[in-house]
Amino acid sequence: MKSIKQNSPQAVVAIALITAACLTGDSMLYIALPTHWEQAGLDSLWEVGILLSINRFIRLPLTPAIGWAYARIGVRTGVVAAVILTGLLTVGYGLADGFAGWLLLRCLWGVSWTLLRMGAYLMILDCTDEACSGAVFGRYNGLFRLGSLVGMLTGGFIADLWGMPAAAFGFGGIALATLPLVLRYAPTVCVAPKETEPLLQRLRQVNTPAIVRALGSGLLIAAAYQGVVASSLSHLIRSNWGTAVALGFGAVGAASLSGGLQALRWAWEPWLAPWFGRLSDGPRGRRKILGALLVVAAVLLGAVSLQLPLGLWLAAVLGMQVTATALTTIGDAAAADAAQSRARTTVMTLYVMATDIGAALGPFLGYLLAELRGAASMYQAAALWLFALGLWWLSDGFRRRSSVA
């Protein structure tokens, strides 16, 4: 079994912390902007909705261009540019006044995040191989989501006390402060391999069952968790229990309960994500574990859609969040496995695009379905597509075992 390459543990931790620092400002906006939109110079809440989603749609057409650029400028240049741009944009959140300025900043954040995410994936791919990619991606996913936790928990608090500009300036400074980490660790990994074949030839190279399955998994897992769950859990709580939920210590608002339940995931990921990654690297193999977890996730999503006794429902939500940690980590590792022997930059570019499409389509299709059949139908639909995806992975595992036998 091949081990993680020399110096790669430090490089993976470094790029994870860089990503976390750059994510704090964006995560802060999801808490602070809906309540401080007038201070930001906006005229209505619908403008807030556009600003919080436009970066995802911007990323879709940009991802192929950034993948192409990485094959020419190298990982170090791309990550340095992303960190500088992120720091300046986050500071800009404290200076923007009016919808047009905010719209420009959020579109540029889409560029910056794609640069950073692609650079991180390419760094990690150079640090590992199929034997240990689960553990490495688990370490990366667990650490970088600390940025979401810090941004969400402290961003609203700082904005309430000293205003949103104070939070923006602070998080912008934190992002820029990671530049020494980039300069220290980015040179230890290779630049993205330049792929000289024509585009159609590269697409034919990646048209294999393993790569198609990995891309489909990235899209559907992102649609379920980044799309449906992240955007609608508070809506589901409000639909089933009203604007306030009675817990043992008192009533909690639907938005506060949803935020707390989702923040728990970012709190446990530094420990759980690497564990799931190592588990998938083990003798049982990634395919069986991924397939089984997808089926379990489908059952839990179906349970969350029901109006169960509150204690049982909360347990189902926590279980669902655990499967989100596991599936995101193992799905990333499966994509890395598929990219090891093929056009690496092309595969990871397509994977980033697939997850972005899933994250963007999840809320749109979910809320469209909710209008027709109610909030619970969003989770039931996500359960169905994850169940089907799980059967796809399990059937592949059974076929491989039969062929070996």
pLDDT tens sequence across 359-399: 877 777 777 787 788 888 889 999 999 999 999 998 865 55
Q: Mean pLDDT for the chain?
A: 82
Query: Torsion angle, CA of 183/189/191/197, rounded to 10 degrees?
Result: -170
Amino acid identity of 136?
Answer: V
Q: Which of 134, 145, 149, 142 is nearest to 272 (CA)?
A: 142
pLDDT tens sequence across 294-353: 999 999 999 999 989 988 999 999 999 999 999 998 998 888 887 766 566 778 788 888
Q: What is the CA radius of gyration of the chain?
A: 21
The pTM of the full predicted model, rounded to 2 decimals, is 0.75
Domains with residue ranges and CATH for the chain:
1-194 (1.20.1250.20), 197-405 (1.20.1250.20)
Amino acid identity of 363?
Answer: P
Residue 366: strand pairing partners = none
Q: What is the pLDDT along the chain (405 residues), one digit of tens a residue?
A: 344 444 467 888 888 999 999 999 998 887 778 777 888 888 877 787 778 778 878 888 888 888 778 877 778 888 999 999 999 999 999 998 889 999 999 999 999 999 998 888 888 777 665 556 677 878 888 888 889 888 877 887 788 788 889 999 999 999 999 999 888 877 544 444 555 555 555 556 666 788 889 899 999 999 999 888 877 787 788 788 887 777 877 777 776 777 778 778 888 888 888 888 888 887 777 888 999 999 999 999 999 999 899 889 999 999 999 999 999 989 988 888 877 665 667 787 888 888 888 887 777 777 778 778 888 888 999 999 999 999 999 886 555 555 444
DSSP 3-state percent helix, strand, coil across the chain (nearest 5): 80, 0, 15
Tokens of 261: 């339940």
What is the rounded CA–CA span in Å between residue 171 and residue 123? 24
3-state SS assignment for residue 193: coil
Torsion angles phi and psi, residue 251, rounded to 5: -85, 140
